[in-house]
Structure 1
Amino acid sequence: MLSLATKMAQMGNRVDIITLFDNIEDYQFNKIENLNIHHLTNNPNNNKRNKTIFARVYTRILKFRADKQHNSDVVKNADKLLNKIRELNVNFDLFISNLIDTDEVCTQASLPNLYYCIHGSISEEIKFNNLRNKFVALFYLKRDLTFIKKLYKNKRLITVSSEMADDLLTLGIMPKSVQTIYNPFDFNYIHQQADFYLPSEQDYIIHIGRFGPEKRHDILLKAYKRSGISNKLLLLGDYNSRYGSKTRQLSIKLGLQNRVIFKGFNQNPYPYIKYAKALILSSDSEGLPTVLIEALILKTPVVSTNCLTGPSEILVDELEEFLSPVGDINGLAKNIKKVLNYPVEITDKYITKFDADKIVQQYLALTK
């Protein structure tokens, strides 16, 4: 969302970002002409609610769907949103909602020319949510689907991958329209950031991502060991969590403690991506995995599980052979070894569809 808004503003369009809670660090965008940030609520206790990925918001919202207080909050926030729009006194050409809680608020507000942008696989999120309590899984599955079908019925939807569109239609959701517009990537910015410093490590492969169950660091470590390669494995991401601790313990159990390097979170991971021999993704589930596209932009070879959704739309043609089935340790191990021994040249044909300039034009076309 922020990348799209920034690029739109840089191209001379007025862009206003309205958040439910004060969770965007405004100073990052104060110097961008035409870009304005507004908050409906300044409550530091709620900052984490909207500062999260689709999966977390989706899980939490559905748990409290029947809560009358939540429904009341939706109405109140819709009133705040309409008041803010009247206060701005701007005749906006396009409204885009990017999270499920803002989807509800925007629906309640009946905004004109409104599109709902879906950033994750709905079926995978419902599945992940219900796995937490198998005894009531069937009940929650039916309830969650009922809510989603009602929310998006006869609405104009945007998905960030084609597989997401297929996924929601398969679930029986009946939108007014659905189209795929990929997330935008600023190629020049990524290349500039990649030259910002030189990593001290050499001859390594890399994985970038938070430590969570769907990222499957356990599969990654086992496949890495089975591949038999001599390159070190760098893990970029905040490992100060339960899953981070479990991954550390597993690396010791597998005898990899001297070969798997926990680098922690890095605000600018691009130099590490640029100089890596390969980037590996081992996830069970993704939306449109940004890190795969960023690696290709920097001409770094990629190996990935073929999870729903995204990887198969990114790794196409000659790169398709580096996709392995989800959870397949042997398949991932073979591809890790193969990508190092027989790397494929990464050309612009793999990335042009993700160029920010093209993506912005697709969004601007919605204003007509």
Structure 2
Amino acid sequence: MTSASVGAEPDLAFYIPNLTVGGAEQVTVNIVNGLAGRGYDVELVVSHPGGELRTAVADSVAVIELADVRIPGIGIGAHLHKLAQYLGDTEPDILISEKTDANILCLGAKRVAESTTTVVPTEHIAFGMMPDESLKSRGVRKVAAQLYPAANDLIAVSDGVADSLGEKTAVDRGDISVLHNPVEITTVQDRAHEPVSHKWIEDPDTDVLLFVGRHHPQKDLKTWLRSFKRVNDTLPDTRAVIAGRGSETETVRELTVELGLTEVTSIPGYVDNPYRFMNQASLFLLSSQFEGLPTVLIEAMACGCPIVSTDCPSGPREILADGEYGRLTPVGDVDSIATAALEMLDNPTPAAVLQDRAADFAPQTVLNDYEQFIETRLG
């Protein structure tokens, strides 16, 4: 184990496979930093070293790197014994894991180590909603459904995720704690005013429709582009910015060419400061097929950016309060998404209203809930 020496019985440990850019990864960093700032002895355990978010982890949080072992087809399962060794040597009072495969690993490591650590799996996405799952993904979900009833506790990031776990596993819905993701609202708003190098973003007279996130089938960027095509046909001066990267990036580029949108669409890849983009964009458009509690919507609201989102399971309806703070549309419905986008461009939600709602997800509020959850389990 590298990067930091293993401490003696920390209050809390969190496990996530890596610290590359992603919603669950950023949320985990926010939580460990916040709890460490409140005086908890926190360790962050990862399988793989490095990652863009590594430098964002507070100095007060020890980062434990298990080993950079990669075995095709096994993934983080190759680190079962290393994690079991960590639990046996360290015995944190509570280990909170993030993401389904990580949850399985932690529950398995607890058994191997015969550890007394309270293991708490966290689900960030509506359980069992992944369309066209691979054989491996289906296997991971089935194993998780079998193991979750034996977990000490279970965390869901939204009511919708909790409901899906209650429906698709043997865990009683009343035994699932809903803890929202904390979002560093102040940091987001501070960074929203930093300059960035993008001509459309920095042009106050250009209406930009924005997406920020992974280019993954879950996000349904094909529907996003087709919806923007309808908007651009009506308002030719609009522009699209699709920031991020992923397995669908080349597909997105190819569809941009096919739809004749290359001159009005920018695909800049990973952007270090997406908040400036949100601050200047006219609309944030989310076309996801499913989510958990999409942090990106909260960040966009913190920047005062109007929102149109699919009413996917789950999170957008919860964040937007049944449509009070943004438009909700059916999943995959290009006409409805385009119509909602045009209406929002014509009559945007006031920035101050959005920012007030975003404050409900600020760290102080969410970390209070985490503290209450933790203290009841520390005894």
Give TM-score scaled by structure 2 length: 0.78
Contact 2:67 2:79 in 1 (8 A): no
Contact 1:157 1:177 in 2 (8 A): yes
Give the aligned partner of residue 22 of structure 2: none
Contact 2:29 2:56 in 1 (8 A): no
- Are residue 148 (structure 1) and residue 144 (structure 2) matched? yes
CA distance in 2, matches of 1:73, 1:317: 42
CA distance in 2, matches of 1:26, 1:117: 20
Q: Aligned letter for 1:305?
A: T
Give the drift of 1:317: 5.1
Q: Aligned letter for 1:189?
A: T
Unaligned runs of 5+ residues in structure 2 are 1-27
- Are residue 158 (structure 1) and residue 163 (structure 2) matched? no
Give the aligned partner of residue 96 of structure 1: 96
| The one of 174, 189, 192 aligned to 2:190 | 192
Q: Aligned letter for 1:341?
A: D
Identical positions, percent: 24
CA distance in 2, matches of 1:340, 1:14: 47
| The one of 289, 292, 298 aligned to 2:294 | 289
Q: Aligned letter for 1:114?
A: V
Give the aligned partner of residue 218 of structure 1: 222
| The one of 350, 359, 366 aligned to 2:366 | 359
Higher deviation after alignment, 243-252 or 305-314: 243-252
CA distance in 2, matches of 1:251, 1:25: 28
CA distance in 2, matches of 1:221, 1:105: 37
1:158-195, CA deviations, whole angstroms, 9 ceiling, x for partnerless residues? 01111011011111332582011111111111112112
Give the drift of 1:319: 3.3
SS in 1 for 2:335: helix
CA distance in 2, matches of 1:121, 1:26: 25
- Are residue 205 (structure 1) and residue 209 (structure 2) matched? yes
- Are residue 22 (structure 1) and residue 53 (structure 2) matched? no
Flag the structure with higher helix content: 1
Contact 2:299 2:358 in 1 (8 A): no
| The one of 231, 234, 242 aligned to 1:235 | 242
- 1:66-145 to 2 correspondence within 5 Å? 74=80, 76-85=81-90, 92-107=92-107, 108-109=109-110, 110-125=115-130, 127-129=131-133, 132=134
SS in 2 for 1:97: strand
Contact 2:100 2:122 in 1 (8 A): no
- Note closer, same or farther for the CA distance 1:320–1:306 as it changes in structure 2 (3 Å cut): farther
Give the aligned partner of residue 169 of structure 2: 172
Higher deviation after alignment, 205-214 or 94-103: 94-103
Contact 1:13 1:34 in 2 (8 A): no
Higher deviation after alignment, 277-286 or 147-156: 147-156
Contact 1:319 1:344 in 2 (8 A): no
- 1:317-336 to 2 correspondence within 5 Å? 319=324, 322-336=327-341
CA distance in 1, matches of 2:344, 2:52: 39
| The one of 30, 36, 57 aligned to 2:62 | 36
SS in 1 for 2:128: helix
SS in 1 for 2:324: helix
Give TM-score scaled by structure 1 length: 0.81
- Note closer, same or farther for the CA distance 1:324–1:151 as it changes in structure 2 (3 Å cut): same
1:9-34, CA deviations, whole angstroms, 9 ceiling, x for partnerless residues? 2233221112233345686157x343
Contact 1:77 1:105 in 2 (8 A): no
Give the aligned partner of residue 272 of structure 2: 267
Q: Over aligned residue pairs, what C-alpha RMSD do you find? A: 2.8
| The one of 291, 298, 301 aligned to 2:303 | 298
